[in-house]
Amino acid sequence: MKQKRFYRIVTVLTVLALTLSAFASLAGAQEAAKVATFAWTQEPDSLNPFYTDMWFATLMHQVYLCWAWQFDDQAVAYPHLVTELPSVENGGVSEDGLTITLNLRDDITWSDGEPITSADFQFTYDMVMTDANTVNSQYPYDYLDSVETPNDLTVVMNFAEPFAPWLANFWRGILPKHILEPIFESEGSLIEAEWNEAPTVGCGPYVFDEWESGSYIRFVKNQNYWLGEANIDEIFFQFVPDDAAQTAALIAGDADLGTFPPLSDVPVMQNAGINVLSVNGGYSEIWFFNFRDMASPGAKDINVRKAVTMALDRNAIVDDLMLGLTQTGETMWDPLTAYGYVSPDITPWEYDPDGARQLLEDSGWIDRDGDGIREDADGNPLTLYHGTTIREIRQDIQAVAQQQLLQVGIDLQIMSEDSDIFFGSYSDGASCATGSVDVMEWSDAPFFPDPDTDYWLCDQVPNDENPWGYNYFGCDETLDALFRSQLVETDPTARTEIFHDITQYMHDQVYLIPLYIDPDIWLINPRLTNVTISGVTPFYSIMSWDITE
Amino acid sequence: MTRYIIRRILQAIPLLFIISVLLFVLMINTGDPLATMGGRKATRPEDRARLARQLGLDQPIYKQYIYWLIGNDWALIDMDGDGILETPGSRLGVLRGDFGNSLISRGKAVIEIIWDRLPNTLILMIPAEIIVIIVSLIVGIYSALRQYSLIDHTVTALSFIGYSMPIFFVALVSMYIFGVNFKRWGLPYLPTVGMFDPKMGKTTVQIIWHMILPIFSMTVITAAGYSRFVRSQMLEVISEDYIRTARSKGLPQRLVISRHALKNAALPLVTIVGLDVPLLLAGAVVTETIFAWPGMGRLFIDHLSRSDTPVVMGILMMISVAVVFSQLITDIIYAWLDPRIRYT
Cβ separation of B35 and A420 shorter than 8 Å? yes
Q: Tell me, what's the pLDDT at A4? A: 60
pLDDT band at B286 (very low <50, low <70, confident <90, very high): confident
Q: What is the pLDDT of residues B313-325, one digit of tens each?
A: 999 999 898 888 8
Q: Tell me, what's the pLDDT at B106? A: 81
| Coil/strand/helix, residue B199 | coil
The stretch B58-81 carries a mean pLDDT of 90
d(CA A449, CA A77): 9
d(CA A442, CA A423): 11
Neighbours of B1 (CB within 10 A): 10
- Do B319 and B278 contact (CB within 8 A), yes or no? yes
- Do A367 and A373 contact (CB within 8 A), yes or no? yes
Q: Which residue of B has its CA nearest to A461?
A: B45
For residue B107, the chain A residues in CB contact (below 8 A) are: 46, 51, 191-193, 196
The domain ranges of chain A are: 2-61+204-280+520-547, 70-176, 284-517
Cβ separation of B117 and A214 shorter than 8 Å? yes
For residue B36, the chain A residues in CB contact (below 8 A) are: 419-420, 423
Residue A36, phi then psi, degrees to nearest 5: -110, 140
pLDDT at A223 over 50: yes
Taking alpha carbons only, the member of A426, A173, A417, A179 closest to residue A292 is: A426
What does the angle CA A155 – CA B39 – CA B285 come to, to the nearest 5 degrees?
140
**3-state SS of chain B: helix, strand, coil percent to 5?**
70, 0, 30
Mutant choice from A191, A220, A254, A450 vs B, greatest count of B C-beta within 10 A: A254
Average pLDDT, chain B: 86
- CATH code for the domain defined by A70-176: 3.90.76.10
User: Which residues make Cβ contacts (< 8 Å) with residue A112, sequence separation at least 6?
Assistant: A201, A224
Q: What is the CA radius of gyration of chain A?
A: 27
Q: Tell me, what's the pLDDT at A18? A: 47
Q: Does A194 touch chain B (CB under 8 A)?
A: no
Is-cis flag, bond preceding B166, omega within 30?
A: no
Mutant choice from B87, B104, B193 vs A, greatest count of A C-beta within 10 A: B193
Neighbours of B207 (CB within 10 A): 16
CB pairs under 8 A between A and B: 217
Cβ separation of A131 and B200 shorter than 8 Å? no
d(CA A284, CA B270): 55
| Coil/strand/helix, residue A525 | coil
d(CA A272, CA A495): 46
What stretch(es) of chain B map to CATH 1.10.3720.10? Answer: 112-337
Q: What is the pLDDT of residues B220-266, one digit of tens each?
A: 888 888 888 888 888 888 888 888 888 888 888 888 887 788 877 87
pLDDT band at A7 (very low <50, low <70, confident <90, very high): low
* Strand-strand pairing, A206-212 and A216-221: antiparallel
> A237 has which bridge partners?
A38, A217
- CATH code for the domain defined by B112-337: 1.10.3720.10
HSE-CB at A295 with a 13 A cutoff on CA atoms is 26
Element (H, E) at A39: strand A35-40
Is-cis flag, bond preceding A526, omega within 30?
A: no
| pTM, to two decimals | 0.86
User: Which residues make Cβ contacts (< 8 Å) with residue B340, sequence separation at least 6?
Assistant: none
For residue A39, the chain B residues in CB contact (below 8 A) are: 193
Q: What is the pLDDT of residues A468-478, one digit of tens each?
A: 899 999 999 99
How far is A198 from chain B, CA to nearest CA, in Å? 12
pLDDT at A31 over 60: no
User: Which residues make Cβ contacts (< 8 Å) with residue B114, sequence separation at least 6?
Assistant: B99, B296, B299, B311, B314, B315, B318
Query: Which range is least confidently modeled, A29-38, A319-328, B39-48?
Result: A29-38
Of the candidate CATH numbers 3.40.50.10860, 3.30.540.10, 3.40.50.300, 3.40.190.10, the domain formed by A2-61+204-280+520-547 belongs to: 3.40.190.10
Q: Which residue of B has its CA nearest to A239?
A: B292
Q: Tell me, what's the pLDDT at B237? A: 86
| Coil/strand/helix, residue A316 | helix
- Do B193 and B185 contact (CB within 8 A), yes or no? no
pLDDT at A144 over 80: yes
pLDDT at A162 over 70: yes
Query: Which range is least confidently modeled, A22-26, A189-193, A309-313?
Result: A22-26
Helices and strands in chain B: count of H runs, count of E runs: 14, 2
Q: What is the pLDDT of residues A43-78, one digit of tens each?
A: 999 999 999 999 999 999 999 999 999 999 999 999
Q: What is the pLDDT of residues A102-129, one digit of tens each?
A: 999 999 999 999 999 999 999 999 999 9
Class of domain A284-517: alpha beta
Taking alpha carbons only, the member of A17, A162, A97, A38 closest to residue A547 is: A38
What percent of chain B clears pLDDT 70, i.e. is strictly above it?
98
Q: Tell me, what's the pLDDT at A1? A: 47
Relative orientation angle of helices A392-406 and A302-311, to the nearest 10 degrees? 110
Q: Tell me, what's the pLDDT at A499? A: 96
Q: Tell me, what's the pLDDT at B341? A: 67
pLDDT band at A29 (very low <50, low <70, confident <90, very high): very low
Map A386-455 to HEC letters: EEEECCHHHHHHHHHHHHHHHCCCCEEEEEEECHHHHCCCCCCCCHHHHCCCCEEEEEECCCCCCCCCCC
